[in-house]
Chains A and B, each alone.
Chain A
Amino acid sequence: MPTSPSDPAALTATTDLAVIGAGPAGLAAAVTAARLGLRVTLLDTAERPGGQYYRHPAASLGATRPEALHHDWRAFTTREAALRAHEAAGRITYLPRHHVWTVVPADEPGTWTLHAVAGHAPDETPTTLRTRRVLLATGAYERQLPFPGWTLPGVVGAGGAQAMLKNNLVLPGRRVVVAGSGPLLLAVAGSLAAAGATVPAVVEAASYTAYAPQTPALLRNPAKLAEGATYGGALLRHGIRLLTRHAVTEAHGTTRVEAVTIARLDKDWRPLPGTARRIPCDALAVGHGLVPQLELATGLGCATLQAPDGTVALELDAAQRTSVPGISSAGETGGIGGAQLALTEGEIAAHAIAGRPVPAALTRRRARLRAFAAAMAAAHRPGSGWTDWLREETDVCRCEEVPAGRIREAAEELGARDARTVKLLTRAGMGWCQGRMCGPAVAALAGEAPAPDRRPFSCPVPLRHLAALPPTEPAPPGP
């Protein structure tokens, strides 16, 4: 094993379970596994536990009421307290600011080596860790569908605006339109308004009547309905209009956003002629649901499936195991489902990994929440007509500045039938973000459902760290 300058203690023994990600799923799994007697190492990229959902300000920012920005804050604080207690007792090694960039089989059969980058440039250091079992709780990032003007400063992710607010107590503007699709928009609009922004409208492309066929799944989840009512109440209280079956089809401005055009949509999300109107604003928070973050899993060869929202998610069994023995997963990686489901799946995975029977209550709760998530995902799945928002010159790939016209040319004239061929012909998805932002859009323009992500590294790794790997280590999985 290579030595680790950053954390020699982590190398001295093979840990029972490495949990990657300290969001709701990973945090719940780590504390449950520790309680059941496993030695756990919890690695996370952030400074503090909680993941994207329970993001909160650094202690040095002095927030006395962080719960004002959260739903069900107690679910987090009880588990964070458990984490600290297990840490103090030596049952959990918690490694914040550690970004695991690959997981590979170790030389001893049945064990795994994790490679991570610890800390921030220019002081980042390499770390390796050996473990018997791995739980991937890597969560999700936001799905974006491009439109003219979406690269203007002031156009930000809806989840991004929420993250910056929760983490740093800042807003992108004073008058912020919230748009896209999915229940996250309601939470974001409520948070922005509570923090002092004016939110003229929430612009939702789907119709909430799309939930109607799913009534049984809704009725089995009264807590979810109550949560929805909370968000609805917040909109009313702040005077925020909810426009369903509408989309922002263009953002206007020169150096930053000054207004957006919204239009009514048909059931396939195609803008209806003659319905366009302008809303002045100085920021737009936009997002179209979430995408499971799967690099580590697909690098290991874990099987995937298409979730009801059209994203690629991991195929998991009743014990939260992936198709690769020794690798489990919980939370958004198995399909977008929200924090309560992630907490439940984390606890289920921990029981299974510890060789304990999974409490029936957890299994029932997972089934109920998964049914709700599936209903919601189907209701907000993007309609095929969204590509009508694009103009030929609209950049689809933000990193490589590849416009829609070039992608359409690759698909229609050069015969590219999948995102990978489009990438080779146009460089769309070849830039810094490795297709995380444009992937769903490029796949749609190529006429295909999104393929599983294949990214050999899940974050930037300094070349000197790669060069320092000993030759006996198996090579990282190829692209």
Chain B
Amino acid sequence: MRSPRELVGGSPAATYPIAFDGRELPAQEGQTVAAVLWAAGILAWRSTRQGGTPRGAFCGIGSCYDCLVTVNGRPNQRACLVPARPGDTVTTQEGTGHADLAV
């Protein structure tokens, strides 16, 4: 089976784990949070405010805001732009990500 890695050759400078909803996922240095999730076959990491339906990355360039996620406790980060850093904890974002405010 071909892969993007085989297409472009080479290997990452570093691979480190990040946490996603209690799972450990391998991140390659230089990947965004959305890319680490896609690489693990995870396409949804948010549920919508009204319908509670699952969403993930859509536009891939920071325009659509569908990939919002909670990173290290901070909600509403665009997963397609935010680099995955060693030790990051990423959690599925429910609604606004501010359940504590009860809005």
Provide the residues of chain B in CB contact with A432, threshold 8 Å: 65, 68
Are B57 and A164 interface neighbours, CB within 8 A? Answer: yes
Asked if B60 CB lies within 8 Å of chain A CBs, one says: yes
A236 interface residue, CB < 8 Å from B?
Answer: no
Residues of A within 8 A of B14 (CB): 60
B35 to chain A, nearest CB (A): 3
Query: Given that A45-B62, A157-B58, A159-B59 are known contacts, is A68 also in contact with B35, CB under 8 Å in the complex?
Result: no
**Interchain CA distance A68-B4 in the complex, whole Å:** 10
Most chain A beta-carbon contacts within 10 A, residue among B1, B6, B51, B63: B63
What's the Cα separation between A45 and B80 when bound, in Å? Answer: 13
Near A by CB (< 8 A), chain B positions 24-74 give 28-32, 34-35, 38-39, 43-44, 48-51, 53-66, 68, 74
Contact B4 A196 (CB under 8 A): yes
Residues of B within 8 A of A367 (CB): none
Asked if A167 lies at the interface with its beta carbon under 8 angstroms from chain B, I say yes
Q: CB-nearest residue of chain A relative to B9?
A: A64
Which residues of B lie under 8 Å from residue A159 when comparing CB positions? Answer: 59-61
B82 is an interface residue with CB less than 8 A from chain A: yes
Closest residue of chain B to A287 (Cβ to Cβ) is B59
Interface of B is mostly: loop
Interface residues of A in 333-382 (CB under 8 A from B): none
Bound: A39/B12 CA distance, A = 36
Which residues of chain B have C-beta atoms less than 8 A from A256's C-beta?
43-44, 54
**Residue in contact with A120 in the complex, picked from B7, B28, B83, CB distance below 8 Å:** B83
Assuming A153-B55, A167-B35, is B74 touching A69 (CB within 8 A)?
A: no
User: For B13, what are the chain A residues with a Cβ–Cβ distance below 8 Å?
Assistant: 59-62
User: Are B9 and A156 closer than 8 Å at their CB atoms?
Assistant: no
Question: Could you tell me the dominant secondary structure of chain A's interface residues?
Answer: loop
Contacts of B32 in A (CB 8 A): 167-168
Q: CB distance B60 to A433 under 8 Å?
A: no
Complex contacts, A57 vs chain B, CB 8 Å: 8, 30
Among A11-19, A169-177, A316-324, which stretch is in contact with chain B? Answer: A169-177
State whether B65 touches A121 (Cβ < 8 A): no
Q: Chain B: which residue is nearest A164 at the CB level?
A: B60
Q: Is A137 an interface residue (CB 8 A)?
A: no
* Residues in B neighbouring A164, C-beta threshold 8 A: 34-35, 38, 57, 60, 80
Chain B residues with Cβ below 8 Å from A437 are: 58-59, 63-64, 66
For A255, give the chain B residue with the smallest CB separation.
B54
Measured CA separation A185–B51 after assembly (Å): 31
- Please give, as numbers and ranges, the residues of chain A lying within 8 Å of B35 by CB-CB distance: 164, 167-170
Across the interface, B63 reaches (CB within 8 A) one of A58, A68, A433, namely A433
Whole-angstrom CA separation of A55 from B102 in the bound complex = 40
Q: Which residues in A have some Cβ–Cβ distance to B below 8 Å?
A: 45, 47, 52, 57-66, 68-69, 120-122, 141-142, 151, 153-157, 159-165, 167-173, 194-196, 255-256, 283, 398-401, 431-433, 436-437, 459
Chain B residues within CB distance 8 Å of chain A: 1-14, 28-32, 34-35, 38-39, 43-44, 48-51, 53-66, 68, 74, 77, 80-83
